[in-house]
Amino acid sequence: MRSIPPNALIAAIVLPLFYLAVYLDYAWSRAQGRADYERNDTVASLSVSILMYALGTVLIVVRTAIYTVAWSQFALLQWPQDSPWAWILGLLLYDFTYYWQHRMGHEWNLLWASHVVHHSSERFNLATALRVPTASMHLWTWVFALPLAIAGFPPAVFAVAALLNLLYQFWIHTERVGKLGWFDRWLGSPSNHRVHHGVNERYLDKNYGGILMCWDRLFGTFQEERADDPVRYGTRAPVRSWNPLWINLDTPWALLRDALRARRWRDRLAIWFHGPGWRPADVAAADPKPPFGLARHRNFEGSAPAALAHYGLLQSALLVPPLIHMIVVASWLPLWPELLYAVWLSSASIALGLLLDAAPARRRLGFALELTRWLAVLAMAAGGAWLGELALAPWARVLLATFALASAGWLLWLQSGLRREAMLRDPPPPSHTP
């Protein structure tokens, strides 16, 4: 039996439980009439998470390799991997580095450009916990953990500590749990993290801690949640999209546009190292934006048909088993099939976001992309090989073909129904014959 890296094994066990918890909490909230979930927003959060984990499974090799090189070449000590102290201190010190990478993710536009993805939801729920940005998770956060490599903590300790820190924060994304007394004073909690996601002036850029809140208390960034100032969630420059790709690209694109429009090279560089909201003076004068006002803050609802949101919710659930499968087999799967797996999962998440778009052209693109995805699954089921590398058992071929045909049929039925509704709503003008 092939071995699975410990971080992949933990993810394969825990992530299905997280996705199940999202769906159960979603159903419970809807049954109770609570407003902490919204259909389109939930699909968007799940799509962002699928995109992140799919691409991250490929990219994690890079950050782990860099950490391993730093550890093997520059470590001042050598902590034995079987030492309990290596794991205890490694988790503690990683949490300290997490505080700083999280804080800098709010203070530099260069880093906020990706971290903003996690704050882009205007709801606060378990699905929001999974809305993790692809870029910040895998392209720069590990830089802050390199001191652990210099201190001699093995790569496995780094990988597991980073994963456990991320997984711990899942449960604190909820409005169901109120204040917890002494727990709130020392540990990451729902109340503390609600504050962190707030756009209220009092709550802005507070409570960065992952597991421990002592770092915020030590460095002056702790803020208690107050009943007289209810938290409003999201960002001060909302993305207004359900497309996971655009949710990841909206802020970097806006910053790049401002940088290119600035006359001075100094401003073009400075914009990336100022905090969110800073703009070069000439750009702000030429293209002014109204100041943020909490009274004008409104949640983005969108206008996609409910039937497409229901399709998105179910398809997001169906993407979880192949996602977990990819995480498990990635350690021995060759590069190109692994990349193909990531592209297939990513295209699915992007297609679901496009289906919820208000623009008919982008929605049609979503239909085409989603239908192509299912035709690819049908072709692989007929050929008997998943991604050209993994042989499919007869029962797996039947199951995949059934899902592909049923989903493609459902998609075509939805498309024809929406066309009929559009024709009834906007009938063509009568023809005039001589």
Domain-embedded: residue 431 = no
Instruction: Please tell me whether residues 22 and 169 are part of one structural domain.
Output: yes
- Taking only the tens place, the pLDDT of each residue in 314-324 is 999 999 999 99
- Taking only the tens place, the pLDDT of each residue in 47-57 is 999 998 888 88
In three-state secondary structure terms, 161 is: helix
Beta bridge partners of 219: none
Residue with tokens 């979603």: 26
The one-letter amino acid code at 93 reads: L
CA distance linking residue 222 with residue 211, whole number of Å = 14
Q: Tell whether the model's pLDDT for residue 303 goes beyond 80.
A: no
Domain boundary among the residues 219, 235, 253 is at: 219
Domain-embedded: residue 430 = no
Domain-embedded: residue 237 = no
When pLDDT is averaged across residues 366-378 and rounded to a whole number, the result is: 95
Instruction: Please tell me whether residues 68 and 207 are part of one structural domain.
Output: yes
Q: Tell whether the model's pLDDT for residue 122 goes beyond 90.
A: yes
Domain boundary among the residues 203, 219, 235 is at: 219
Q: What is the mean pLDDT of the chain?
A: 91
When pLDDT is averaged across residues 82-110 and rounded to a whole number, the result is: 95
In three-state secondary structure terms, 175 is: coil
Instruction: Please tell me whether residues 50 and 196 are part of one structural domain.
Output: yes
In three-state secondary structure terms, 66 is: helix
Instruction: Please tell me whether residues 53 and 185 are part of one structural domain.
Output: yes
Instruction: Please tell me whether residues 161 and 206 are part of one structural domain.
Output: yes
Domain boundary among the residues 289, 317, 342 is at: 289
Cα–Cα distance list, 343 to 51, 108, 116, 328 (Å): 9, 30, 23, 17
Domain-embedded: residue 429 = no
Count of domains in the chain? 3
Give the structural domain span for 355: 306-419
Instruction: Please tell me whether residues 38 and 180 are part of one structural domain.
Output: yes
Q: How far is CA 426 from the centre of its chain?
A: 37
- Taking only the tens place, the pLDDT of each residue in 198-217 is 999 999 999 999 999 999 99
Percentage of the chain beyond pLDDT 70 is: 96
- Taking only the tens place, the pLDDT of each residue in 140-173 is 788 899 999 999 999 999 989 998 999 999 999 9
**Which is higher by pLDDT, 339 or 134?**
339
When pLDDT is averaged across residues 75-103 and rounded to a whole number, the result is: 94
Task: Kindly report the number of other CB atoms within 10 A of residue 187's CB atom.
Answer: 17
**Which is higher by pLDDT, 190 or 425?**
190
Instruction: Please tell me whether residues 359 and 279 are part of one structural domain.
Output: no
Task: Kindly report the number of other CB atoms within 10 A of residue 302's CB atom.
Answer: 17
The pLDDT assigned to 388 comes to: 74
CA distance linking residue 159 with residue 145, whole number of Å = 10
The pLDDT assigned to 401 comes to: 95
Instruction: Please tell me whether residues 208 and 315 are part of one structural domain.
Output: no
Q: Tell whether the model's pLDDT for residue 26 goes beyond 90.
A: yes
The pLDDT assigned to 134 comes to: 73
Instruction: Please tell me whether residues 254 and 384 are part of one structural domain.
Output: no
CA distance linking residue 432 with residue 397, whole number of Å = 54
CA distance linking residue 27 with residue 434, whole number of Å = 58
Instruction: Please tell me whether residues 154 and 266 are part of one structural domain.
Output: no
The pLDDT assigned to 418 comes to: 81
- Taking only the tens place, the pLDDT of each residue in 255-269 is 999 999 999 999 999
The pLDDT assigned to 427 comes to: 67
Q: How far is CA 38 from the centre of its chain?
A: 17
- Are 207 and 193 in contact by the 8 Å Cβ rule? The answer is yes
Instruction: Please tell me whether residues 257 and 340 are part of one structural domain.
Output: no
| Closest by CA position to 371, among listed 432, 330, 315 | 315
Domain-embedded: residue 298 = no
Q: Tell whether the model's pLDDT for residue 282 goes beyond 80.
A: yes
Instruction: List b or e across 321-353, with b for residues whose CB sees 16 or more CB atoms inside 10 angstroms.
Output: ebbbebbbbbeebeeebbebbbebbbbbbbbbb
Domain-embedded: residue 300 = no
Domain-embedded: residue 432 = no
Q: Phi and psi of 329, rounded to 5°?
A: -90, -10
| Closest by CA position to 66, among listed 139, 165, 133, 134 | 139
- H-assigned helices in 271-334: 281-286, 306-329
Cα–Cα distance list, 43 to 37, 38, 342, 353 (Å): 10, 9, 19, 7
Most confident of the following: 6-10, 237-241, 252-256, 412-416: 252-256
The pLDDT assigned to 358 comes to: 85
Domain-embedded: residue 35 = yes
Q: Model pTM? A: 0.91
Instruction: Please tell me whether residues 274 and 322 are part of one structural domain.
Output: no
